[in-house]
Amino acid sequence: MQKRKLGNSNLEVSALGLGCMGMSFSYGPPADKQEMISLIRSAVERGVTFFDTAEVYGPFTNEELVGEALYPLRDRVVIATKFGFDLSGNDNRPGAAGLNSRPEHIKQAVEGSLKRLKVETIDLLYQHRVDPNVPIEEVAGAVKELIQLGKVKHFGLSEAGAKTIRRAHAVQPITAVQSEYSLWTRGPEAEVLPTLEELGIGFVPYSPLGKGFLTGKMDENTKLGSSDFRSTLPRFTPEAMKANQALVDLLGKIAQRKKATPAQIALAWLLAQKPWIVPIPGTTKLHRLDENIGAVAVELTADDLRDIESAASKITIQGARYPEKLEQMTGR
């Protein structure tokens, strides 16, 4: 497995990480815990060293899973987690209880994450969503203190806007920003990616396979259960999926030419954008893990990238990525 550095930091990780959220949360009922422990350990055997979780996934159960799975392999991996949601309510949906990035809450959240992850230091700690009620300088200052105490190594932001990134970075250097980015979600290209390049910050795209849609395994007839988060997303209505099929068809064409799969082309495209981009596709299946890892070996030439760009520019993606309330939490 190739390695990449996240920006100017000394944090080196595998070129592809593993997003662990879907193992316990969001995409239907939680998967079998022992099977997921085995899958996470298989990822390490295959050279994956970068694992992503958050306290809100479950809540809490995903961190416990990742902690248990990686405990015997701690010296070989980098674990990222996130704070920032208020989890004091009874409603476990992400964001239901709103945001809380007050410094005392961050410190409390980190103590819980350290225990669940069975680690003494969190390698990379992200603010999950920017909290409009707490100045980002205070958030960065709180994380800076945690870094000085040895409880955290690196600071990150998720779904933050360019101005917020600059303000936070001035207080505590940011190692990575994690936001949704893929061939059907290209918002970060306008302002965020140029800002990261200028400041020497790495970028971690989540949902690099469009929450499963870009794999070519879904279409307008796909039925999503009520426990599947995607059933609430405007982009996953049958009409939107039908309209967006054109993008999957494009990936399929390139995949045939390259003797690869649509998912591998989608990931290879991201890897080709910048050397400091590290996508974190999630999966609960070993054969998909192997397929995703195979993307690192897919070489897209300048001509391939031009072809993809030219064809993709003619496709208008239908449907917002989130319902309005969750969309408002992004890009601040």
Task: Give the model's pLDDT for residue 234.
Answer: 96
Give the number of other Cβ atoms within 10 Å of residue 34's Cβ. 10
Q: Which domain holds residue 108?
A: 3-327
DSSP, collapsed to helix, strand or coil, labels residue 196 as: helix
In a domain, residue 332? The reply is no
Q: How far apart are CA 106 and CA 99, in angstroms?
A: 11
Distance between the two ends of the chain, CA-based, in angstroms?
35
Please give the structure tokens belonging to residue 233. 């997303």
Q: How far apart are CA 136 and CA 119, in angstroms?
A: 26
Task: Give the model's pLDDT for residue 88.
Answer: 81
In a domain, residue 130? The reply is yes
| Total number of domains in the chain | 1
Q: Tell me, yes or no, if 57 is annotated catalytic.
A: yes
Residue 205's DSSP bridge partners are: 179
Give the CATH number of the domain where residue 312 resides: 3.20.20.100
Q: Compute the average pLDDT of residues 174-197.
A: 98
Return the amino acid letter for 244.
Answer: N
- Reported as a single tens digit per residue, the pLDDT across 155-182 is 999 999 999 999 999 999 999 999 999 9
Task: Give the model's pLDDT for residue 258.
Answer: 97
Q: How far apart are CA 70 and CA 251, in angstroms?
A: 34
- pTM score of the predicted model: 0.97
CA distances from 79 to 60, 164, 214, 327, 331 (A): 15, 24, 26, 26, 24
- Reported as a single tens digit per residue, the pLDDT across 77-100 is 999 999 999 998 766 565 566 899
Q: Compute the average pLDDT of residues 45-49.
A: 98
HSE value, Cβ hemisphere, 13 Å, CA-based, for 227: 10
DSSP, collapsed to helix, strand or coil, labels residue 142 as: helix
Q: Where are the alpha helices (H) located in 11-102, listed in sequence order?
A: 33-45, 61-70
DSSP, collapsed to helix, strand or coil, labels residue 220 as: coil
Mean pLDDT for all residues in the chain: 96
**Alpha-carbon dihedral 323, 326, 329, 331, rounded to 10 degrees:** -40
DSSP, collapsed to helix, strand or coil, labels residue 176 as: strand
- Reported as a single tens digit per residue, the pLDDT across 238-260 is 999 999 999 999 999 999 999 99
With 70 as the cut, is the pLDDT of residue 188 above it? yes
Task: From the candidates 57, 126, 181, 206, give the one annotated as an active-site residue.
Answer: 57
Contact of 92 with 122, CB cutoff 8 Å:
no
Backbone dihedral region of 118: left (phi > 0), alpha (psi from -120 to 50 degrees) or beta?
Answer: left
Q: How far apart are CA 281 and CA 153, in angstroms?
A: 23
